[in-house]
Amino acid sequence: MKLYLESFSLASRSEEDSFILNYPYQLEMQCYSHTNVYPFKIFPQKLLSSLSFEPITVFYGGNGSGKSTLLNIIAQKLKVSRSAPFNDTPYFVSYLGYCDFSLAGTLPKESRLIASDDVFDLLLERRTVNEKIDRKRNLIFEEYEEARETPFQLSSLSDYSEFKRRNEAKRQTKSAYTAARLPKELNGMSNGESAFSYFTNEIKEDALYLLDEPENSLSPKLQKELAVFLADSARFYGCQFIISTHSPFLLAMKGAKIYDLDAVPVTSKPWTELENVREYYEFFKNHEREF
């Protein structure tokens, strides 16, 4: 199994304090508040200064715990490609100056961050196209009914195309007539199936991938399938993954190193000790007799 990113260090508490006490007044004017210094003032409070990585590393934590922020910091420092925007501030570049990392060789150029917004944009694009197709389908239905019910006389050569269309409507069923004139939908898959296919299509061999809550839009069954795909990609196809997630199916991937960002200090834990996994366990345990 390959490892591209070995370790990553964040700004220390003393470095953050020094910056905040001496930051340029231009940045204060842009942010309007000396308290809004994101991404500063997040990780020293968690006693988190450095991270070491495995072929699969997972950031776990509740909303606001810093999972996505960590991914964005690593992605920006490593300069991997990305499409979705993120919560950038005038302080972000300054913060990156205090960060450092260690690579096990050369970082593949195919490495990238895939955010939930990337998947949502795909789903929205496909939905928009399919909605246009639905409107087109209704218009063709109306054309079909009008062609069959309204008499038409061929009076000149310029009428031939319309004459031919009306004859086709009279010879064909509505479905056959419509299918011949309607562009096909982008796919016949559900949102979840489309989201799953996005990952299987976009993730290539031999690269580092940072995935921000990839379980969004996926059913439990597809989350399990994604976990298998990611584990196989790391084991057999030279991929390294850094993932932020709440999904117990992704957290349970064999060999994954999990950082609990809800803990102080942030520590690596087995997936069975994480709070939301325990919540699931207690819920199903309490309802065991109903199964």
Q: For the segment 25-71, what is each residue's pLDDT rounded down to a tens digit? A: 555 545 444 447 889 999 999 999 999 999 999 999 988 899 999 99
Sheet of strand 100-103, all strands in order from the earlier edge strand to the far edge:
50-52, 5-9, 100-103
The answer to whether the CB of 140 falls within 8 A of the CB of 177 is yes
Residues 111 and 230 occupy one common structural domain: yes
Q: Which structural domain range is residue 160 located in?
A: 119-181
Q: What is the pLDDT of residues 69-81, one digit of tens each?
A: 999 999 999 999 9
Provide the pLDDT confidence category of residue 130 given band limits of 50, 70 and 90.
Answer: low
pLDDT at 25: 55
Percent of the chain's residues with pLDDT above 70: 85
The answer to whether the CB of 106 falls within 8 A of the CB of 77 is no
Domain boundary among 158, 181, 204: 181
Q: Who contacts 50 (Cβ-Cβ below 8 Å, separation ≥6)?
A: 7, 8, 9, 10
Residues 94 and 159 occupy one common structural domain: no
Residues 16 and 89 occupy one common structural domain: yes
Residues 29 and 88 occupy one common structural domain: yes
Mean of the pLDDT values across residues 140-146? 78
Domain boundary among 153, 181, 209: 181
Residues 136 and 106 occupy one common structural domain: no
In angstroms, the CA 255 to CA 12 distance is 29
Number of independent structural domains in the chain: 2
Provide the pLDDT confidence category of residue 186 given band limits of 50, 70 and 90.
Answer: very low
Residues 227 and 95 occupy one common structural domain: yes
Residues 198 and 283 occupy one common structural domain: yes
Residues 162 and 93 occupy one common structural domain: no
Query: pTM score > 0.85 for this model?
Result: no
Lowest mean pLDDT among 72-76, 155-159, 226-230, 241-245: 155-159
In angstroms, the CA 231 to CA 234 distance is 5
Sheet of strand 257-260, all strands in order from the earlier edge strand to the far edge:
112-114, 208-212, 240-244, 56-60, 257-260, 267-268
CATH no. for residue 15? 3.40.50.300
Residues 105 and 239 occupy one common structural domain: yes
Domain boundary among 181, 205, 228: 181
Residues 95 and 229 occupy one common structural domain: yes
Residues 126 and 145 occupy one common structural domain: yes
